[in-house]
Each structure stands twice: as structure tokens, then as C-alpha cells.
Amino acid sequence: MKSPPQSILLGTAGRLDRFAHLCGRLLGWFTLVMVLIQSLVVALRYGFDGGSLALQDAVTYLHGAAFMLGLAYALQAGAHVRVDVFYRTLSARGKAWVDAVGCLIFLLPVCTFIAIGSWQFAASSWAVSETSASADGLAGVYLLKSLMPLAAITLALQGVSQFARALHTLMQVETSASDTTSFRVATSQAAEKTTGKLHPLVREATVEASP
């Protein structure tokens, strides 16, 4: 039976994982639309000697969204690069320690740095409602620039999920070890009580027979 802290950790991690999975499925459709638009741009250029800057900008927007917002889904799916030569040889407890320390020391600080550094960059674009430099380009450049802090936030949330699961694993291992120790102590005490109630000759023979 899970303790309340373990249930909270698993519940939090589960909700964040579902959010990342939903984003990943949505971004998959973004990728499909991006491929279709890019095919249309190529067909217009080489088949009809025409083109559209708005369509080209749309490909850039979709590609940026799929890449930046897909970071959290990639982390949830285990697609980020790691040193698996050492990680895969570790025990469940060792992997949990690597995940927890990695999130606290590397992932979350980097996400915080990116979010703070890009916030003013995106806010300035929103302040002037920045649009494309080309007259025929796609408006809403501020939306594209907003992907940077948004990507850092979603990646940090998935990092919190990974940290919660690592803590749950560590707590589960500690609980199992504590339960095993308690069981051994209780068994030993029960055996001592049972031996103490036996006839002296039987008790002596039992002690001599035990290893």
C-alpha cells in the first residue's frame, strides 16, 4: 500500500505525463500539416512558377512549434541524449538518483535560465505586435518568439514529473528495505519467545541445531 507522499508524487507525475503526451500528439499533427504545406510550396514554385511567403512562414512557425514544444514530450518518451553506457547498468535506485540529481542540478536550472532570458525577448515582441519584415509574410512573429519561454516552462514541468518519479522510486526502495528489516526483527523476536517457552531439554536441542 502506498503512503500519502508516494501517492501525491505518482499523481503529480501522472498528470504531467498526460499533459506532455497530449502535447506530443498535437505536435504530431503540426508536423503533418507542415509537410503538406511545404509540399504545396514546392509544387507552386516548380509547377506553376509561383510562391507564397505566408506559406513559407507558416512552415517556419510549425517547425518551431514542433521542435520547441516537443522537448517536453521527448523527455517524457526518453528520447533525449544520455550516457546510456553507464545509466543502463545501474540498479533502479541508481537510476533514480541519476534522474533526481540531473533534474535538480542541470535540467531545472537550465530551464529557468532560458525562461528568464527569453521572457523579455518575447515581451518586447508582444509590446509592438511584431509582424513579418516582408509585406507578404505571415503576421504574429510575437507568437513564434513566445515559443522560447513556453518551451522552457513545459520542459521544466516534465522535469518535475521525472523528479517526482525518481523520488517515488527512492522512497519505495527505502520502504521495502525498512519492511524487510522489521520483518526479520519481528521473526527473530517471535522465535526467541517460542524458544523460551519450550522445555529446557528441547530448547537446548533447538539452540544446538540452529546454525
Output the pLDDT for position 152.
94
Question: What single letter denotes the amino acid at residue 74?
Answer: A
pLDDT band at 114, cuts 50/70/90? very high
**Cα distance between the two ends of the chain:** 35
Output the pLDDT for position 140.
83
State the angle between helix axes of 200-209 and 147-196 in degrees (0 to 180), rounded to the nearest 10: 130
Which stretches of the chain are DSSP H helices?
4-47, 53-68, 70-76, 84-87, 92-102, 108-127, 141-145, 147-196, 200-209
Output the pLDDT for position 137.
77
Query: What's the pTM?
Result: 0.74
Q: Which residues fall within 8 angstroms of residue 37, CB to CB, at 6 or more apart?
A: 55, 58, 59, 62
Tens digit of pLDDT for each residue in 137-178? Answer: 788 889 989 999 999 999 999 999 999 888 888 888 555 444
Tens digit of pLDDT for each residue in 51-110? Answer: 788 888 899 899 999 989 899 998 888 777 766 777 788 888 888 898 899 899 999 999
